[in-house]
């Protein structure tokens, strides 16, 4: 501050409410998006220097009045981006200090740098001492989104991950499993690459949204605990185009399905998904997919019983339309009221069909 040299704090005359508003504006201006360059392995702090919570942390260390005001404002601490590169003690101290300050205020928690095994399959930490345990959600926390990013592939099956989730006591509304930062050359590949997401979500009964990014495992639905009533499923660059349909029996409450095309056509050739069950979701009202082939409506599928059916669908968005498949899909789903095809909007499926076959 310009007044620091004179030793005079010009904010001392500001009402506490106005000071709090200023703090909130400062933190809101700073992006909380994780930047890989900010979090190197040698970094001592567990948070990014570009994150909003780092701004809140600096504000709380200016003076006692600022600290008292900042600590009493849960909104300042509501976007948390952590990295596990730091020492276990630093992570523990940070979480024990910050988590109670939320006081039930909705927050977003992102944990970067999770890794359990080295490239030879040996544990990187003694059992039970992984720094991830220090990030366990306390009972008073309401987490709008818990995002877990990994450094090695195939670790979404690791027992310590499941143990960590079982220790989370707060309410997690949304879960993100992100393998986008994985280095395959440094990953230990197990004998089986099958994965049942139910093992993960079963520990989070309040989850309503599930987002899976760059997952290379083969989805399986084993006889695990019942899934929570998930209403939204988002998939980014999944390994096999229609492998997600194996999850359908566990998603009876699903209302929104989003699949992002991130170059899945570059995945290994020869993977046959034609024997997968047709995805039929009676409560889905909104779908966003690259093309309707992901829903079983591939022109090469002659047997109508193998095509997915969504009787409650009202909104459909496709980015790379296949005219034959899309026309057949729209004809079978006449109740679509909002349609977007390659960024062009239509009032419904009937308008698109009329434009495709003008008189």
Mean pLDDT of 239-259: 81
Query: ∠74-77-81 over CA atoms, to 5°?
Result: 155
Q: Is the pLDDT of residue 4 over 50?
A: no
Q: CB-based contacts of 151: which residues, under 8 Å, 6+ apart?
A: 113, 114, 115, 181, 182, 183, 186
* pLDDT at 38 (0 to 100): 43
Given phi > 0 = left and psi -120 to 50 = alpha, else beta, which region is 9?
A: beta
At 262 the pLDDT is 55
pLDDT at 277 over 80: no
Mean pLDDT of the 206-216 span: 92
Question: How much is the average pLDDT of 271-288?
Answer: 75
**Burial environment of residue 157 by CB neighbours within 10 A (0 to 12, 13 to 18, 19 or more):** middle
CA distance 30 to 25: 9
Residues whose CB falls within 8 Å of the CB of residue 315, separated by 6 or more in sequence, listed in order: 285, 286, 287, 336, 337, 338, 339
Strands (DSSP E) contained in 98-241 are 106-114, 142-150, 171-172, 174-178, 194-195, 209-213, 218-219, 232-236
Q: How far is CA 12 from CA 4, 55, 67, 87, 318, in A?
A: 13, 20, 13, 37, 56
Output the CA torsion 254→241→119→185 (10° steps).
Answer: -140
Is the distance from CB of 307 to CB of 297 less than 8 angstroms? yes
CA-wise closest residue to 104 among 65, 54, 138, 69: 138
Model confidence pLDDT, tens digit, residues 106-116: 999 999 889 99
Asked whether the predicted pLDDT for residue 265 surpasses 70, the reply is no
- Share the mean pLDDT of the chain: 80
Q: Which of the residue ranges 117-121, 168-172, 267-271 would you say has the lowest mean pLDDT?
A: 267-271
Instruction: With a cut of 50, say whether residue 1 has pLDDT above it.
Output: no
First to last CA, the chain: 72
Alpha helical stretches, state H, 29-108 = 52-59, 64-71, 88-98
Q: Which residue has the higher pLDDT, 303 or 333?
A: 333
- What SS3 state is found at 165? helix
The more confidently predicted of residues 251 and 323 is: 251
Q: What is the pLDDT of residue 354?
A: 86
pLDDT band for position 30 (cuts 50, 70, 90): low
- pLDDT (tens digit per residue) in 176-194: 999 888 877 677 877 777 7
Contact 258, 236 (CB under 8 A): no
d(CA 71, CA 74): 7
Beta bridge partners of 316: 287, 339
Residue 149 near residue 111, CB atoms below 8 Å: yes
Task: Say if CB 56 and CB 26 are below 8 A apart.
Answer: no
pLDDT in tens, 162-176: 999 999 999 999 999
Percent of the chain with pLDDT strictly greater than 90: 29
Contact criterion met (CB below 8 Å) for 14 and 21: no
Q: Where are the beta strands (DSSP E) in 237-341?
A: 256-260, 286-289, 315-318, 338-341
Rounded to an integer, the average pLDDT of 74-101 is 87
- CA distances 209 to 143, 165, 236, 298, Å, are 12, 16, 14, 27
Reported as half-sphere exposure (CB side, CA atoms, 13 A), residue 160 has a value of 18
């Amino acid at each position: 501050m310009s007044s620091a040299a004179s030793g005079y704090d010009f904010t001392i005359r500001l009402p506490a409410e106005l000071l709090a508003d200023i703090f909130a504006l400062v933190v809101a201006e700073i992006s909380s998006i994780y930047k890989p360059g900010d979090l190197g392995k040698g970094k001592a702090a567990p948070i990014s220097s570009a994150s909003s919570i780092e701004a809140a942390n600096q504000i709380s260390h200016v003076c006692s009045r600022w600290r008292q005001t900042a600590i009493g404002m849960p909104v300042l601490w509501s976007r948390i981006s952590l990295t596990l590169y730091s020492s276990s003690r630093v992570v523990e101290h940070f979480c024990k200090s910050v988590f109670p300050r939320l006081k039930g205020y909705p927050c977003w928690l992102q944990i970067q740098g999770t890794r359990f095994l080295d490239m030879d399959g040996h544990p990187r930490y003694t059992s039970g001492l992984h720094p991830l345990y220090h990030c366990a959600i306390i009972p008073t926390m309401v987490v709008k989104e818990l995002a877990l990013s990994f450094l090695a592939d195939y670790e979404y099956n690791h027992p310590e991950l499941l143990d960590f989730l079982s220790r989370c006591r707060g309410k997690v509304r949304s879960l993100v499993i992100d393998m986008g930062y994985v280095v395959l050359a440094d990953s230990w590949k197990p004998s089986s690459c099958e994965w049942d997401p139910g093992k993960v979500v079963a520990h989070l009964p309040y989850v309503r949204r599930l987002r899976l990014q760059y997952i290379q495992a083969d989805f399986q639905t084993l006889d695990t605990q019942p899934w929570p009533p998930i209403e939204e499923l988002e998939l980014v660059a999944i390994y096999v185009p229609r492998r997600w349909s194996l999850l359908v029996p566990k998603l009876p409450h699903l209302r929104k399905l989003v699949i992002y095309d991130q170059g899945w056509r570059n995945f290994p050739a020869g993977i046959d998904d034609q024997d997968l069950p047709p995805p039929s979701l009676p409560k889905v009202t909104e779908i966003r997919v690259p093309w309707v082939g992901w829903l079983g409506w591939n022109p090469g599928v002659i047997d109508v019983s193998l095509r997915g059916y969504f009787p409650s669908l009202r909104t459909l968005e496709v980015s790379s339309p296949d005219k034959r498949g899309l026309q057949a899909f729209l004809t079978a789903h006449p109740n679509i009221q909002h349609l977007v095809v390659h960024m062009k909007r239509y009032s419904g499926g009937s308008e698109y069909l009329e434009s495709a076959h003008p008189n």
